């Protein structure tokens, strides 16, 4: 009984992708993917997702570090706030960003009148939309790694007179590097797949804001085989990240851990 | 086990809430207009067809008009595939062709539409003509050339000799309208009816007649209609004075 349900559950997740792979015109795939419009969307997607991941690392690691401190009052509130974008429909995130940074938005209005800067319809808007939906993935992954880390060495460093920033940079972060890498990879793939917030907040223009998911959605009506080709490309990219991630989890993590403990013993 | 499967299937079906073809209770031919008549119409006609359906129901108290709205191409494909529809209303002659190629019949033009230059209320960008769409300093929203309204925009702009500098290509005309209503774009090209639908938030600037491209909305009383006499009544209502008034109020042109 349970096994049957498990099989059905697996089918729900796997069968659509099987259908996608079966519908893929493999022989035409290179030509479809080499289309300048596809390459343009792919380049924009990789660039914006990479930017998003960098910004997420810079902002997210300190945020995770703060959250990992149990003595912090109101940490539960902060964690709830960080989790909200995770459960929010991305399109709602897009609307919210528009109301904050749009031309008539809370901050956007001032940006427009004082600096002549309008955020929507720019690649920066794409990064902001991606950041809104993918930053929580990184923060929660890094927080989990920080909590799982052995704090004794950090405490030891602290008693030897190291500043909190120094301890974080030289002791704590290196020990949770696999967790940070996993968080960054999750953040990157989530950014790569972002659709709702991007199309709502950033619009859709080739080379500036039309990322792969937006291009897939537009092509579905007019050039279905191209939409399928782009979907397969995104699937392969995501699976590649997953494989790299699993390499870390299965091989990298225990090996690195073992190496560290040996080094400490030596 | 089987019961559980049934529960799952029922739950999924409930989630999908797919409209199922309705039976025609009391639909004896020649017994007067009662029962149900099914009307499939383009999404752009949602409000007007809904209102005209109400008129038909008031005129024929025994008759229920069931309406379903969607993309013209999808609906035409459904009729071609044998969906039990009595009336089909599309937003272009091409999509109507998909249906008539399969089931035959002679569609009639019920309304026309065309693009208008649209700006947010108060016209913050100071837009006056199509040439302003080429101004890189203005934020311009257009439909993607791949979709019908974008295709129309390409034709209109080519006639006007304007190479636009858009900032975003929306997937449908409502996307362009939303950018204008939220004041995120200074100008865009939308249907005249969308400007009417945009009410106070959007202002329309009529295009010069020389560049305007007129689109036609066609209605077909399907030759394979389960209720041919009721289908004829619905099409007549679309063409009648009350129907024309509803269409004109929504900004449609009349044939």
Contact B167 A102 (CB under 8 A): no
Domain that holds residue B146: 115-205
Q: Does residue A19 fall inside a structural domain?
A: no
Q: Does residue B141 fall inside a structural domain?
A: yes
Closest CA to A215 of A38, A82, A5: A38
Could you tell me if B240 and B121 lie in one domain? no
- The stretch B134-162 carries a mean pLDDT of 93
pLDDT in tens, A62-81: 999 899 887 878 888 999 99
Q: Does residue A41 fall inside a structural domain?
A: yes
Could you tell me if B225 and B236 lie in one domain? yes
Across B99-130, b (16+ Cβ under 10 Å) vs e yields: bbeebebebeebbebbbbbbbbeeebbebeeb
Number of domains chain A is built from? 1
pLDDT in tens, B180-198: 999 999 999 999 999 998 8
Nearest CB neighbour to B184, from listed A1, A103, A206: A103
Q: Does residue B14 fall inside a structural domain?
A: no
Give me B26's structure tokens: 């009391």
Q: Does residue A231 fall inside a structural domain?
A: yes
Could you tell me if B49 and B100 lie in one domain? yes
State how far residue A201 is from chain B, nearest Cα, in angstroms: 10
Q: Which of A37-41, A83-87, A139-143, A244-248 has the lowest mean pLDDT?
A: A244-248
Residues in B closer than 8 angstroms to A209, CB to CB, are 168
Nearest CB neighbour to B168, from listed A8, A209, A223: A209
Contact A4 B1 (CB under 8 A): yes
pLDDT for res B3: 54
Residue A10 CB neighbours (<10 A): 10
Nearest CB neighbour to B147, from listed A1, A206, A221: A221
What's the DSSP call for residue B21? P
State how far residue B196 is from chain A, nearest Cα, in angstroms: 23
**Cross-strand pairs, B65:** B37
Q: Does residue A20 fall inside a structural domain?
A: no
pLDDT for res A202: 95
Residues of chain A whose beta carbon is less than 8 angstroms from a beta carbon of chain B are 1, 4, 8, 98, 102-104, 118, 120-121, 199, 203-206, 209-210, 217-219, 221-223
Q: Does residue A239 fall inside a structural domain?
A: yes
Cβ–Cβ contact B170 with A under 8 A:
yes
Contact A121 B168 (CB under 8 A): yes
Residues in B closer than 8 angstroms to A102, CB to CB, are 182-184
Q: Does residue A5 fall inside a structural domain?
A: no
Residue B64, domain CATH = 3.40.190.10
Nearest CB neighbour to A204, from listed B139, B170, B183: B170
Could you tell me if B134 and B187 lie in one domain? yes
Q: Does residue B5 fall inside a structural domain?
A: no
Cβ–Cβ contact B179 with A under 8 A:
yes
Give me A117's structure tokens: 């800067």
Cβ–Cβ contact B184 with A under 8 A:
yes
Q: Does residue B24 fall inside a structural domain?
A: no
Q: Does residue A50 fall inside a structural domain?
A: yes
Is the predicted pLDDT of residue B21 greater than 60, yes or no? Answer: no
- Within chain B, what is the greatest distance between any pair of CA atoms? 68
Q: Does residue A28 fall inside a structural domain?
A: no
Could you tell me if B54 and B97 lie in one domain? yes
Task: Supply the DSSP string of B108-170, one letter for each residue.
Answer: EEEEEE-EEEEEETT-TT---SGGGGG-TTS-EEEE-TTSHHHHHHHHHHHHHT-----SEEE
Is the predicted pLDDT of residue B9 greater than 80, yes or no? Answer: no
Position B28 confidence tier, pLDDT thresholds 50, 70, 90 = very low
User: What whole-number distance in Å separates Cα of residue A226 and Cα of residue B100?
Assistant: 29
Position B29 confidence tier, pLDDT thresholds 50, 70, 90 = very low
Domain that holds residue A48: 33-254
Residue A210, domain CATH = 1.10.3720.10
Residue in chain A nearest B1 by alpha carbon: A1
Residues in B closer than 8 angstroms to A221, CB to CB, are 146-147
Number of domains chain B is built from? 2
User: What whole-number distance in Å separates Cα of residue A160 and Cα of residue B144?
Assistant: 63
Q: Does residue B45 fall inside a structural domain?
A: yes
% chain A with pLDDT above 90 = 67
State how far residue A121 is from chain B, nearest Cα, in angstroms: 6
pLDDT in tens, A109-168: 999 889 988 999 999 999 999 999 999 999 999 999 998 888 888 889 889 988 888 888
Could you tell me if B106 and B223 lie in one domain? yes
Residue in chain A nearest B140 by alpha carbon: A121
Could you tell me if B135 and B101 lie in one domain? no
Is the predicted pLDDT of residue A260 greater than 80, yes or no? Answer: no
Average pLDDT of chain B?
Answer: 87
pLDDT for res B23: 43
- The stretch B114-139 carries a mean pLDDT of 95
Q: Does residue B18 fall inside a structural domain?
A: no
Q: Does residue B2 fall inside a structural domain?
A: no
Could you tell me if B120 and B77 lie in one domain? no
pLDDT for res B191: 93
Q: Does residue B7 fall inside a structural domain?
A: no
Across B211-243, b (16+ Cβ under 10 Å) vs e yields: bbeebbbbbbbbeebbbeebbebbbebbbeeeb
């Amino acid at each position: 009984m349970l096994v049957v349900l498990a099989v059905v559950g697996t089918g729900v997740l796997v069968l659509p992708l099987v259908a996608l792979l079966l519908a893929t015109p493999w022989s035409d795939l290179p030509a479809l993917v080499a289309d300048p419009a596809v390459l343009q969307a792919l380049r924009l997607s990789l660039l914006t997702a990479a930017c998003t991941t960098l910004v997420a690392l810079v902002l997210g690691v300190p945020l995770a570090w703060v959250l990992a401190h149990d003595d912090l009052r109101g940490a539960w509130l902060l964690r709830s706030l960080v989790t909200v974008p995770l459960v929010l429909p991305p399109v709602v995130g897009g609307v919210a960003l528009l109301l904050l940074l749009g031309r008539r938005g809370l901050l956007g209005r001032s940006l427009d009148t004082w600096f002549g800067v309008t955020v929507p319809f720019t690649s920066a808007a794409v990064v902001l939309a991606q950041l809104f939906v993918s930053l929580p993935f990184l923060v929660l992954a890094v927080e989990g790694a920080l909590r799982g880390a052995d704090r004794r060495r950090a405490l030891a460093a602290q008693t030897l007179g190291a500043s909190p920033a120094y301890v974080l940079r030289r002791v704590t972060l290196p020990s949770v590097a696999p967790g940070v890498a996993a968080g960054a990879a999750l953040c990157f793939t989530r950014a790569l797949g972002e659709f709702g917030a991007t199309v709502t907040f950033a619009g859709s223009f080739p080379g500036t804001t039309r990322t792969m998911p937006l291009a897939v959605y537009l092509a579905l009506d007019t050039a279905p085989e191209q939409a399928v080709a782009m979907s397969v490309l995104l699937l392969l990219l995501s699976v590649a990240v997953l494989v790299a991630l699993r390499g870390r989890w299965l091989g990298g993590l225990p090996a690195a851990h073992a190496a560290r403990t040996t080094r400490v013993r030596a | 086990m089987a019961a559980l499967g049934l529960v799952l299937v029922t739950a999924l079906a409930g989630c999908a809430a797919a409209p199922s073809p309705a039976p025609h209770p009391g639909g004896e031919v020649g017994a007067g207009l009662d029962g149900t008549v099914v009307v499939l119409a383009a999404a752009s006609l949602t409000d007007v067809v809904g209102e005209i359906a109400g008129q038909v129901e008031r005129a024929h108290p025994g008759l229920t008009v069931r309406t379903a709205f969607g993309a013209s191409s999808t609906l035409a494909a459904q009729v071609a595939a044998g969906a039990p529809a009595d009336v089909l209303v599309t937003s272009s002659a091409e999509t109507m062709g998909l249906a008539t190629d399969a089931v035959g019949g002679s569609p009639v033009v019920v309304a026309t539409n065309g693009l208008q230059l649209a700006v947010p209320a108060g016209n913050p960008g100071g837009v006056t003509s199509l040439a302003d769409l080429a101004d890189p300093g203005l934020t311009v929203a257009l439909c993607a050339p791949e979709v019908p309204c974008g295709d129309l925009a390409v034709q209109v702009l080519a006639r006007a000799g304007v190479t636009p500098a858009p900032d975003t290509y929306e997937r449908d005309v409502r996307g362009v309208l939303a950018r204008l209503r939220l004041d995120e774009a200074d100008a865009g090209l939308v249907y005249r009816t969308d400007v009417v639908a945009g009410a106070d938030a959007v202002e329309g600037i009529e295009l010069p007649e020389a560049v305007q491209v007129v689109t036609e909305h066609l209605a077909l009383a399907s030759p394979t209609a389960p209720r041919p006499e009721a289908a004829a009544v619905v099409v007549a209502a679309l063409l009648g004075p009350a129907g024309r008034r509803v269409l004109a109020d929504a900004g449609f042109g009349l044939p």
